[in-house]
Amino acid sequence: MKLHEYQSKLIFAKFGVPIPRGKVAASASEAREIANELGGRVVVKSQVLVGGRGKAGGIKVANSSDEAEEYAAQILCMEIKGLPVRKVLIDEAANIVSEIYLGITNDRAARKPVMMVSAAGGVDIEEVARETPEKIVRVHIDPLLGLRDYQARDIAAEIDLPRDLWHAFGQIANGLWKAYQNSDANLAEINPLVITADNQLLAVDGKMVLDDNALFRHPDLAEKRDLDVEAEAEIEARKYGLSFIKLDGDIGCMVNGAGLAMTTMDIIKLFGGEPANFLDIGGGASAEKVTAAFRIILADPNIKAVLINIFGGITRGDVVARGILSAMEEIKPEVPMVVRLVGTNAEEGRQLLADANMITADTLADAAQKAVAAAKGGK
Ligand code: GDP
Ligand code: MN
């Protein structure tokens, strides 16, 4: 789950990271009031859950509250990378001398969090990472020991940070680590961490991605989820405990088990098709869950065929088939449905489905080929 910039920065601030004074506005007149309170010179910042807002025109420095109102009005009408802007953050503008990148994420290969820092921070950090990766310093953090003071000093030296800022940098690096660890985050990032004209360090931007699997430990963070900007299908799927990710293809997939779901997507591609989604209905799925899964898959207007791939272990094939049939009675899909059902009582299950005019398949390869053909020749 991604947090907005203003949410991330408030969490960072709780752990001692200095952030600009500022407030969120949902209208241009509110933006004006906040700019007034802050003394006029402010940055108007779109709050959308994508990066690169600056380059997209979603970040503007205003020199007066009049200008703040005008920019807020413009930005609140914008769509950035397909996401509508519903809120803007009005921050006191910083006088920026230089921009540092500071981030923490998990390094799976090292099985440790890693802190990444670069003196070449700012909106072009992706390019820096691609073209001059040696400009990014990486330091692994032992999760039991936490970030050590000497590590922060090493980093400060490595990026040639002026000596008089080392102490402040150490506190910020440590604060970011604490924010990351305490929130069970997958990413905590300050880009840019700026050096201001009066020689202070300030976190001008903030980004956090939380681990969905740990959200149950953080009800206060879980409720920050921005439902406005999430795909409707994904919200619906979460309600039924389904793992669903929308993709761009035209073959809907309904599968039990995440590994099998990925295999199904791969094999569709192998035979020249494109999956429309990833969907894991989980083990022992109820008829209610199966119905919800169908509804979610078929709500996508791109769907030309559906591939149902169920490996019945504990769940019996005939029970699964009845579940599918009762779901279809409710949903009445108009696209061809291909089913591959294996496991206990699979034969009975297949018979039930064949009787209901569904296309059955014996193997996964057979099923994928039939689904690809159905999508190409189907409605
Ligand atoms: P992003 O493009 O989504 O990463 O948004 P950022 O919040 O990082 O803003 C993009 C860029 O706008 C920063 O790298 C800065 O160069 C600039 N910027 C952001 N806040 C301020 C500010 O307070 N004053 C000035 N002068 N520039 C700012
Ligand atoms: Mn940024």
pLDDT score, position 24:
98
Tell how far the Cα of 204 is from the centroid of ligand 1, in angstroms. Answer: 7
Catalytic, out of 5, 180, 189, 240: 189
pLDDT tens column, 53-84: 999 999 999 999 999 999 999 999 999 887 88
Ligand 1 atom index nearest CA of 5: 7
Q: Which structure tokens are listed for 318?
A: 């005939």
Asked whether 204 and 194 are in contact (CB, 8 A), the reply is yes
Atom number of ligand 1 nearest to Cα 20: 23
Distance 204 CA to ligand 2 centre (A): 8
204 and 192 Cβ atoms separated by less than 8 Å: yes
Contact predicate 193/204, CB 8 Å: yes
Residue nearest to atom 2 of ligand 1 (CA): 54
pLDDT of residue 229: 61
Q: What atom in ligand 1 is closest to the CA of residue 93?
A: 23
Question: What pLDDT shows up at residue 379?
Answer: 42
Distance from residue 94's CA to the centre of ligand 1 (Å)? 9
Q: Ligand nearest 21 Cα, by number?
A: 1
Q: Are strands 305-312 and 337-343 parallel, antiparallel or unpaired?
A: parallel
CA Rg value for the chain: 26
Predicted pLDDT at 230: 63
pTM of the full structure: 0.76
Partners of 102 in the β-ladder: 117, 190
Closest by CA to 376, choosing from 284, 300, 268, is: 268
Closest Cα to atom 7 of ligand 1: 205
d(CA 139, CA 90): 33
> If we measure between CA atoms, which residue out of 311, 293, 284 comes closest to residue 254?
293
Backbone angles phi and psi of 189, in degrees to 5 = -140, 135
Residue 24, classed as helix, strand or coil, is strand
Ligand 1, atom 15, residue with closest C-alpha: 122
Stated as kind and residue range, the H or E segment containing 13 is: helix 5-14
Greatest alpha-carbon span in the chain = 79
Alpha carbon of 75 to ligand 2 centroid (Å): 17
- Whether 101 is a known active-site residue: answer yes
Of the CA atoms within 13 Å of residue 64, those in its CB half-sphere come to 2
Domain ranges of the chain: 1-20+95-229, 21-93, 231-375
Ligand nearest to the CA of 81: 1
For the question of residue 189 being annotated catalytic, the response is yes
Catalytic option among 101, 180, 288, 334: 101
Looking at domain 231-375, does it have CATH number 2.120.10.80? Answer: no
75 in Cβ contact with 43 (< 8 Å) = no
3-class state of residue 124 by DSSP:
coil
Q: Under 8 Å CB-to-CB from 341, ≥6 apart: which residues?
A: 308, 310, 312, 317, 320, 321, 349, 350, 353, 360
Amino acid at 177: W
Closest C-alpha residue for ligand 1 atom 14 = 122
Fold (topology level) of 1-20+95-229:
D-amino Acid Aminotransferase; Chain A, domain 1 (3.30.470)
**Ligand number, closest to the Cα atom of 58:** 1
230 Cβ neighbours under 8 A, 6+ residues apart: none
Q: Which residues of the chain have pLDDT under 70?
A: 228-231, 284-285, 378-379
The reply to whether domains 1-20+95-229 and 231-375 share a CATH topology is no
Closest CA to 94 of 66, 56, 59: 59
Burial class (CB in 10 A: 0-12, 13-18, 19+), 275: buried
Q: Give ligand 1 pocket residues (Cβ under 6 A).
A: 43, 45, 51-54, 59, 61, 91, 93-94, 96, 99, 122-123, 191-192, 204-205
Give the span between the Cα atoms of 363 and 162, in whole angstroms. 65
Write down the pLDDT at residue 241.
86
d(CA 329, CA 111): 48
CB-based burial of residue 70 (10 Å sphere; 0-12 exposed, 13-18 middle, 19+ buried)? middle
d(Cα 64, Cα 35) in Å, to the nearest integer? 7
The pair of three-digit structure tokens given for residue 16, joined into one six-digit string: 């001692």
pLDDT of the residue at 289: 84
Atom 11 in ligand 1: residue holding the nearest Cα: 54
Domain 21-93 CATH assignment equals 3.30.70.890? no
User: Which ligand approaches the C-alpha of residue 92 most closely?
Assistant: 1
**Residue to substitute in 2, 3, 43, 80 for testing ligand 1 pocket (most ligand atoms within 8 angstroms of CB):** 43
Span from the CA of 52 to the centroid of ligand 2 (angstroms): 7
User: Residue 188 Cα, ligand 1 centroid: separation in angstroms?
Assistant: 17
Query: Is-contact 83 229, C-beta < 8 A?
Result: yes
